[in-house]
Amino acid sequence: GQQVMQIPQYQHVQEGEDFTTYCNSSTTLSNIQWYKQRPGGHPVFLIQLVKSGEVKKQKRLTFQFGEAKKNSSLHITATQTTDVGTYFCVINSGGYQKVTFGTGTKLQVIP
Amino acid sequence: EAQVTQNPRYLITVTGKKLTVTCSQNMNHEYMSWYRQDPGLGLRQIYYSMNVEVTDKGDVPEGYKVSRKEKRNFPLILESPSPNQTSLYFCASSFHPQALPDTQYFGPGTRLTVL
């Protein structure tokens, strides 16, 4: 099936610093979703991107879909301790029924 | 309250002893799916179901079975569990994946240990 690489695997930042995680695919994607999983919790949907070059913002979070629809990024401005967790990009294949998660980026925010 | 429930939340069992993990959603969602989560590997899809009596394999179906006899329930069956199936399992549902991929709502997870 389709594969997606997510980097970095881990990131430690001081509270107030920015954070970015990247998702890369070797094939053109129809869409990409981002989920967040808090420690001990379950994945929670954040956003979906569909259009080439699309940029969406949610408060301090900025999501971008590459022009070629092969990569995506999630940027957090001025991290807070509430941002702690693992961020996953998710792609769909097989008519949207099959789902592939990226390996995730675990964010730790140091107060 | 709209939710996905899983039972049990924690289970320790022994190799070869059949077990079932239940999953139920109260949102009238058509699509349901099972994932396993292992350190460094993210979540991997085991099986999914588009609707009642319609199921299909995900990326890691070996050693698992599912059924979808009712819209709200999607149990995961391990006929003969092995230690390599020790993992954290999540069930998820979404409204209708035929259009654009839809938001998936996840259950709280089931931590399974097979000795």
pLDDT tens by residue, B9-32: 999 999 999 999 999 999 999 999
Contact B42 A103 (CB under 8 A): yes
> Which residues in B lie closer than 8 A to residue A31 (C-beta atoms)?
100-101
Using CB atoms, which residue from A31, A33, A98 is nearest to B45? Answer: A98
Which of B113, B115, B103, B109 lies closest to B37 in space, CA to CA?
B109
Instruction: Quote the pLDDT of residue A1.
Output: 64
Give the confidence band of A14 by pLDDT, cuts at 50, 70, 90.
very high
Instruction: Quote the pLDDT of residue A95.
Output: 66
pLDDT along chain B (115 residues), means of 10: 95 97 96 94 93 93 97 97 98 79 92 98
Match 């080439």 to its residue by tokens.
A52
Whether A99 has its CB under 8 Å from any CB of chain B: the answer is: yes
Q: Which two tokens stand for residue A97?
A: 């029924």
The CA distance from A32 to the nearest CA of chain B, in Å, is: 9
Which of B53, B52, B46 lies closest to B88 in space, CA to CA?
B46
Going by DSSP bridges, is the β-strand pair A105-110/A10-14 parallel, antiparallel, or unpaired? parallel
Residues in chain A: 111
Q: What are phi and psi of B69, to 5 degrees?
A: -85, -25
